[in-house]
Amino acid sequence: MNRASQRVLTILLVWTCCSTSMHSQLTSEKKSNEANECCIESANFNRLWLTMDSLENTQTGKLSILYIGGSHVQAGWIGHYMREALMQWNPRSTWDKGLMLPYRLAQTNTPTHFRTEMSGQWNGASCAQSTWPDWQPKLDAGTGIEARTSSKRSSIQHVSYLPDSSKFTSNSFDVWTNATRSELQLQTTQNDSACRYSQMSNGWRISCAEVSDTFRLSFEANQNREVPLSYGGTYAHSMELTSSIVLNEWGHNGLHIEELAALVDLRSFTQIITRMQPDLILLGVGLNDAINEHGFNIARFAVNYERCLDALEKAAPDAAVLMMSNTNVHNTSKHTRQNSMMIQEFLRSKALVSNSAYFDLASATGGAENTTSWMEDGWFKSDGIHFTPEGYQEIAALIFSALQDAREKSRIQSKPDRE
């Protein structure tokens, strides 16, 4: 039994609306209890399981996962360990680079699976943390982050870093920028002259004849440019591959649900979700709202959350959506605990009347009373909110195991029909 399994108290998955109950029990050296798990056939999750079956058995198909959240997502460690788990599950698959946002250019922390090298002077802002007065995502990239430079010449190189950069290749790049064609140049390890530039409303789509595991964007501002060059990120993937996996991390430190809800109003929000074609969306937004002791309003939170769900469903109607409760906070205030409980109940009830599923991450990690053990094990940082890499590894294992367990139960339940 691995460390994550030893610490698990409960994994609760709620699928759409259910008519039957099942009981599962996972034990911990600290505590053991039992919780109901409601399951029913879900077309979107069945599609997800079939995609995973195809990759596992025939090595055909594309698995796209999108993880949306706050600082836990931007830190990158959950995604990092989920990539490791997926590589162990299917070691022969190649990988798309996927979403790469200009975190370092905006002077904030970058997720672990890629690093950014740059030249020129850059600064930036995000939808959750902006030092620019009255800034809004004017670039209309739908990403909630923007970097700008006034340097005459500048460059950006997003390099896949871990677990294995040689597995991450691309030959199609959506680049969100206000640069004109004469100001932008893509450089890869292949023949750059064979790349084709197609203008989008918010940047450029660059298609190349061959895949490459490295690319660099070079900018040279025109002499008559009156506003700084801006850059909102790149979505890179491979058009040719018949078998691939991509895990996109879309997170901003301090993100609240209202800030995510504001992004869904952008025209390009739908465009970027459609571009990703997610099979699974992990939605982990709510902790920053719960910590807001005096400004939290569950009714307002619910309205904004439902707006986000509606937008995701319209942009990706076939995606399986897994809503996750807040992680526990060590030595938290009574208000934060109460707010998180209200969010937890809202998500659970929402799962019963929607096409989404719910994962009780707070209970899975042992509940509020188990945070002392996590702190003693070195899984919490000193702030009691964020986790160490080892702590994030435990969380990633819980999420991945819950999905695999649900997939296996679906296979067992449908087996008599196939026979």
Tell me the pLDDT of the chain averaged across its residues: 85
Domain segments of the chain as ranges: 3-418
The per-residue pLDDT for 139 is 53
Whole-model pTM: value is 0.89
Q: CA-CA distance, 332 to 287, in Å (whole number)?
A: 12
At 19 the pLDDT is 28
pLDDT of residue 210: 86
Q: Are 228 and 148 in contact (CB under 8 A)?
A: yes
Provide mean pLDDT across the span 254-283: 90
Please, are residues 6 and 28 in contact by the beta-carbon 8 Å criterion? yes
For residue 415, what pLDDT is reported? 67
pLDDT recorded at residue 332:
83
The sign of the torsion formed by the CA atoms of 158, 163, 166, 168 equals negative
Higher pLDDT, residue 11 or 397: 397
- The whole-number average pLDDT for the span 340-351 is 94
For 227-348, strand residue ranges (E) read: 229-237, 243-251, 280-284, 320-324
Tokens of 309: 């769900």
pLDDT bucket at 282, cuts 50 / 70 / 90? very high
Distance between CA atoms of residues 189 and 212, nearest Å: 6
Q: What is the pLDDT of residues 284-326, one digit of tens each?
A: 999 999 998 678 999 999 999 999 999 999 999 999 999 999 9
Per-residue pLDDT of 361-391, as tens digits, reads 999 999 888 999 999 999 999 999 999 999 9
For residue 4, the model assigns a pLDDT of 41
Instruction: Tell me the pLDDT band of 94, cut-offs 50, 70 and 90.
Output: confident
Dist CA 125 CA 148 (whole Å): 9
Q: pLDDT at residue 140 above 70?
A: no
| pLDDT tens digits along 124-137 | 999 888 777 667 66
Q: Do 319 and 278 contact (CB within 8 A), yes or no?
A: yes
Q: Across residues 389-403, what is the average pLDDT? A: 95
SS (HEC) of 269-288: HHHHHHHHCCCEEEEECCHH
More confident: 71 or 164: 71
Q: Span 41-66, mean pLDDT?
A: 91
Check pLDDT > 90 for residue 352. Answer: no
Q: Which residue has the higher pLDDT, 37 or 340?
A: 340
At 154 the pLDDT is: 97
Mean pLDDT of 61-75: 95
**9 band by pLDDT with thresholds 50, 70 and 90:** very low
pLDDT reported for residue 138: 58
Q: How far apart are CA 282 and CA 399, in angstroms?
A: 9
215-222 mean pLDDT = 96
Q: Looking at the domain that runs over 3-418, which CATH code has it been given? A: 3.40.50.1110
**pLDDT surpassing 60 at residue 353:** yes
pLDDT for 41 equals 60
Sorting pLDDT into bands at 50, 70 and 90, what band is 417?
low
Which comes out higher in pLDDT, residue 388 or 352?
388
* Residue 1 identity: M
Amino acid 190 reads: Q
Cα 126–Cα 128–Cα 129 angle in degrees, nearest 5: 65
